[in-house]
Homo-oligomer: A and B are copies of this chain.
Amino acid sequence: MLNFTVGPVQSSECVRAIGAENVPYFRTPEFSNLMLENERMILDFANAPEGSRAIFLTGSGTAAMEAAVMNALTRADKALVVNGGSFGTRFVQLLQRHDIPYDEIKLERGQPLREEDLARYEGGDYTTFLINACETSTGVKYDMDIVAQFCKRNNAFLIVDAISYFLAEEFDMTELDAGIMITGSQKALACPPGISILALAPSALEKIASTSVKCMYFDLKDALKNGERGQTPFTPAVATLIQIHERLKEIEALGGAQEESRRIGALARYFRNALVDLPFELATASPCASVTSLHPTTASAYDIFTTLKDEYEIWVCPNGGELRDLVFRVGHIGALTTDDYDVLLDAFRDMQRRALI
């Protein structure tokens, strides 16, 4: 199968080879060193400010989103959250679940965030701003510069879900003055799912130190303390962490985060430029490099997903809920080449000949 979903994605040969090995014992200096290198490379690729830390949680991206909310916010805070799709909604649900007062900037699906959307919230005493840099459900990319400026003007702590943004687009924690960046193993890191990552600026470390968290597993104080010696409080997904190490070194050797986002951006452009004769509309005018959301004008999006899977050995990414028949997504993260996109484009053209689209 050829996999164009937005996670899990295809892994490089080196990463897969590690999956075939027995998982080593991990309470060792060797594994600690590997984890400290993982932390260094993540912080480097995010351009996190001096004194930042990174934590590797065994769990999904939502686990890291919830850990961020639990550790950086209390009922005394007032949050402002951008909700332009199902992952924005997830942040809203997390704020509700933890009784954090919030206001919500509700955007139409696929619409970018504009200066005027933010204007009415100026001076609103928000302590914290939460946003999905890429709202993965529609692939819309938000303008992080206007968000960062809003946060600086309003002195708000910035939490960025960059799960499908990190390494696909340039992301600079220092420039944005972001407090927390979240990502996951199965997106542009192109490793199996199971690990989510939080990069924590010193401003986040301060908050974590002063918050009392009603959950042992998500108490980042424990994770930070164990992380000082390259360990985790509980048995982590060791194999995935070793694969992440391999992959981070691979990215470093090929020129770092900037080069990786350039490569992914080029793949996205290659695919988008080839769509002209196909009956698809872009579902957003502001797409993130990691994914292209398409609205088919002649067929059900879910039927296209199923036909590609069952008859062409290709996975694209279906949508759920009300977008099920309206939108499907083609990812540009993972071990993919322009040749792979040619295979997908040929399949589309074949489906066109068969009058399936």
Contact = CB atoms under 8 A, between A and B. Distances in A.
Given A58-B59, A192-B239, A215 B216 contact: no
Majority DSSP secondary structure for residues of A touching B:
loop
User: What is the count of identical protomers in the complex?
Assistant: 2
Nearest to A62: B234
B63 A7 contact: no
A66 B236 CA distance: 15
Contacts of A58: 58-60, 63, 193-194
A76 interface: no
Given A58-B59, A97-B215, 6 more contacts: A8-B25, A8-B26, A11-B22, A192-B239, A215-B215, A217-B218
A19 B239 contact: yes
Interface string A14-46: 001111111111111000000000000000000
Given A23-B11, A214-B214, A218-B215, A237 B235 contact: no
Q: How large is the interface on A (under 10, 10 to 19, 20 to 34, 35 or more residues)?
A: 35 or more
A301 interface: no
A60 B217 CA distance: 9
A299 interface: no
B215 A66 contact: yes
Given A23-B186, A217-B66, A235 B60 contact: yes
